[in-house]
C-alpha cells in the first residue's frame, strides 16, 4: 500500500497490531526501504553565498539594472537604475527597452560618471546590454572590474532589485 510517512504508517499498523518498540521498528523500516528512498523528494542542496565586499567609499561599487515594459512616458518605456552600494543613493535614467550597448554606455557616461566619477566595481545581471563583448572590452579599457550575477538573484544585486520593486 506504500508509505505515507512515518507517523501515518505507524497509525495504520497500530490499528491492527502492537508490540514493544513498534515506533522504532517502523521508522527503521521506512528509513531503509528502497522504494521510499528512490521516490523521496530530497531537499535542495544549500549553496553557501559569498557576500559582496563592503565598499569603502561612495560610488566605488554600483549596481545596475533595467525596469522594462513600463507605460510610455515622454517617449520612454524603461528606466535604467543605478544604485551606490555604500550610500544607497539612486540615479534613474529614462530609456527604451530596445537600448543598445552603445546607448547604455552613453547613459553611463552622461548620467553616472559625469556626476560621480568612475566606479571601481559594477554589479549587474547578465542582460544583453551588459554581457556583450563590446561592453566587456569597454569596461576593461577603463579598468573597471565587472561582476556578473544571474538574473533574479537579489543576493547579488539586492540594492538595484529593491529599488526596482519600490519604483514599480
63: three-class secondary structure by DSSP = strand
Q: Which residues contact 117 (CB under 8 A, 6 or more apart)?
A: 59
pLDDT of residue 157: 60
pLDDT of residue 57: 92
* β-bridge partners, 148: 124
Q: Which CATH superfamily is domain 61-167 in?
A: Ribonuclease H-like superfamily/Ribonuclease H (3.30.420.10)
pLDDT of residue 31: 80
Query: Domain map of the chain by residue range?
Result: 6-39, 61-167
Report the C-alpha gap between 65 and 158 in whole angstroms. Answer: 10
Report the C-alpha gap between 84 and 98 in whole angstroms. Answer: 25
Which phi and psi angles does 20 have, rounded to 5°? -65, 130
Are 84 and 62 a contacting pair, CB within 8 Å?
A: yes
Residues of the chain predicted below pLDDT 50: 134
Amino acid at each position: 500500500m506504500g508509505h505515507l510517512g512515518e507517523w501515518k504508517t505507524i497509525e495504520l499498523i497500530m490499528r491492527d497490531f502492537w508490540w514493544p518498540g513498534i515506533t522504532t521498528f517502523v521508522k527503521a523500516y521506512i528509513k531503509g526501504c528502497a522504494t521510499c528512498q528512490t521516490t523521496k523528494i530530497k531537499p535542495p542542496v544549500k549553496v553557501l553565498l559569498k557576500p559582496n565586499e563592503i565598499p569603502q567609499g561612495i560610488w566605488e561599487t554600483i549596481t545596475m539594472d533595467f525596469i522594462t515594459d513600463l507605460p510610455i512616458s515622454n517617449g520612454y518605456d524603461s528606466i535604467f537604475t543605478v544604485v551606490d552600494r555604500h550610500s544607497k543613493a539612486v540615479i534613474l535614467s529614462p530609456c527604451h527597452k530596445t537600448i543598445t550597448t552603445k546607448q547604455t554606455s552613453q547613459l553611463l557616461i552622461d548620467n553616472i560618471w559625469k556626476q560621480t566619477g568612475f566606479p571601481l566595481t559594477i554589479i549587474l545581471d547578465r542582460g544583453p546590454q551588459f554581457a556583450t563583448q563590446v561592453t566587456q572590452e569597454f569596461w576593461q579599457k577603463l579598468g573597471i572590474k565587472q561582476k556578473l550575477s544571474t538574473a533574479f538573484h537579489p543576493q547579488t544585486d539586492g540594492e538595484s532589485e529593491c529599488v526596482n520593486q519600490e519604483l514599480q
